[in-house]
Amino acid sequence: MRTQVAIVGAGPAGLLLGALLHRAGIANVIVEQRSPDYVLGRIRAGLLEQGTTELLLQAGAGARMQREGIPHEGVELAFNGTRLRIDFQALTGQRMTIYGQTEVTRDLMDQRAALGLPTVYEAEAAQPHGFDGTHPWVSYRKDGVEHHLAADFIAGCDGFHGICRAALPAGAVSCFEKVYPFGWLGILADTPPVSHELIYGQGERGFSLATMRSTTRSRYYLQCALDDDIKGWSDDAFWAELKLRLPPDVAARLVTGPSIEKSIAPLRSFVAEPMRFGRLFLAGDAAHIVPPTGAKGLNLAASDVALLASSLADFYAGAGGDTVGLDHYSQRALARVWKAERFSWWFTSLMHRFPETGGFGSRMQQAEFDYLCGSEAAQRVLAENYVGLPLAV
């Protein structure tokens, strides 16, 4: 089999890239090691930047998001008893949209199936080859049969633990990483959200976050120890701790119920440089990870694939002669990635309790929050970063 672009990974990054390439008339095949049900079963974030929603519409997969997405014009920070609302609309003229990553993935999957575009699920032992030359290809095994997918380019959209970055030669990539000394204990419940906007909390007991997936489904998080056992957190224990971390008036109106999903996720900041090696391009979690505090993960992936799709479109429109976009893909993508990494690191540092912080660090956090409360300029900086810096396309 042959195609123009072989995409490894059928998460939202790979699927969105495939949709954008199809719109540009570029043939592509997606190879995914898991089943469709497994991909859809991954519970992820659901806060979309305006640029991401515009990309989904551009890709032709945003109709349901437009109908069901919840406009989100601000967030509230609750810090040691003080409350501050960051008004995105007033400060930036932009807004966010609450629409679950699972739903984004489903919409892109359904669109791809309706168009009859090729996706190989349950492709075992997928491996990129020849990307340091002019004839790259991807091998995989399906139903016991070995397959060879030839392409002009390979896009590695296969996540942090995927094969594409791992397949690069030793020393080809520099990795930068910070592992945070705590995790997020998350719970999903079919209960109405406690607030129509996100509430980020920080207090003596640690970080909390009240968010939602819809008007009837809530998502809540608590900062927890990395070695916490999920079995030690009953639903009752979670709700009780959440009430202690929320502002009293918010806790009083919290509606509790049985969890439909519960997990503990570690937090890390990670960047791999460069994001291109020959004819292999990394995008999304394959190249970078951010702590979820700033809601940047899916949005950064969307930014990457928008830039990559645009660069590939220029290449094919120029009959293979225009390589400027491809040559500068890594540099341009990383410029936005590092700004998002900085914001996510800063916001995480402000809103969490760190074991090593001590008295001085706690006072610095308080001073930072007090400054934020008293400075419209500081609030605008937060808002500009939260709603998303301009795409590099």
Task: List residues with catalytic annotation.
Answer: 72, 200, 292, 296, 386
Residue 255 has φ and ψ, to the nearest 5°, of -100, 120
Return d(Cα 187, Cα 218) in angstroms, integer: 8
Q: Specify the pairing of strand 5-8 against strand 70-72.
A: unpaired
Do 303 and 311 touch, CB atoms closer than 8 A?
no
**Residue whose C-alpha is closest to residue 303's, from 224, 233, 393:** 393
Two tokens at 42? 């991954």
CB-side exposure of 217: number of CA atoms within 13 Å? 16
**What angle do helix axes 297-317 and 50-58 make, rounded to 10 degrees?**
40
